[in-house]
Chain A
Amino acid sequence: AQKVTQAQTEISVVEKEDVTLDCVYETRDTTYYLFWYKQPPSGELVFLIRRNSFDEQNEISGRYSWNFQKSTSSFNFTITASQVVDSAVYFCALSENAGNMLTFGGGTRLMVKP
């Protein structure tokens, strides 16, 4: 059975600080997919990134970057120069091939203060 752990339940930073959100996963499959979603205060779930298990390249998108390490089963998310608008709950999720259902971590609430 798959499992996703986000050990940080809440993080508070001051604007312009860098922050890393941790995600550790467990799966028996060799083929799987990892995701990050953002849930702002308005409540919708916003897709940020998808990564498959065969692609360990790190990815950067603007102020966002992701570090995927199979050796430690981690898929961490870093926000550089955080902004107040980054305040949200961030979810890491895992999907195996069958059915594409997502197993979510417990979420990390990020608060960015001005």
Chain B
Amino acid sequence: DTAVSQTPKYLVTQMGNDKSIKCEQNLGHDTMYWYKQDSKKFLKIMFSYNNKELIINETVPNRFSPKSPDKAHLNLHINSLELGDSAVYFCASSPYGGDKNTEAFFGQGTRLTVV
């Protein structure tokens, strides 16, 4: 069983479209994240959700809207896609804070290409 799974793995779409990336974790973790990796391999946090509540939003354009229907799912919806949104998006999960601070488990990544 895959611990953190995200779909699709590849996504090619035209500018201006709206698209979603889905993420699910079966680890029972409280916290889920979205990270963006750009073409230079820089990895940066976008959002963090704890028990379905947003706790971190790192100055991401409001065209990006995460949605967490339950603590095992964190989907990323992107409106009006732009060329600069092309990147690899990673979903991750971990237990929350303090003594539970362990490594984050990452999904396989979704390579988004906007043409």
Contacts and interface: CB of A to CB of B under 8 A. Distances in A.
A64 interface: no
A88 to B, nearest CB: 11
B42 A50 contact: no
Given A95-B101, A99-B55, A106-B40, 17 more contacts: A37-B106, A43-B108, A44-B106, A45-B106, A47-B104, A50-B103, A97-B97, A98-B97, A99-B96, A100-B31, A101-B33, A102-B35, A103-B45, A104-B44, A107-B41, A107-B42, A107-B43
Contact of A91 (B43, B88, B94, B101): B43
16 contacts: A39-B41, A43-B88, A43-B109, A45-B90, A50-B103, A52-B101, A97-B98, A99-B56, A99-B97, A100-B31, A100-B94, A101-B33, A102-B104, A104-B44, A107-B42, A109-B41
Nearest to B102: A50
Nearest to A109: B41
A101 B48 contact: yes
B103 A35 contact: yes
B50 interface: yes
B105 interface: yes
Contact of A99 (B41, B42, B48): B48
A90 B41 CA distance: 10
B101 A100 contact: yes
Interface of B: 31, 33, 35, 40-45, 48, 50, 55-56, 88, 90, 94-98, 101-106, 108-109, 111
Nearest to B45: A101
Given A102-B45, A103-B45, A47 B109 contact: no
B94 A47 contact: no
Given A97-B98, A98-B97, A100-B31, A44 B43 contact: no
A52 B45 CA distance: 20
A23 interface: no
A102 B101 CA distance: 11
A35 B104 CA distance: 10
A11 to B, nearest CB: 14
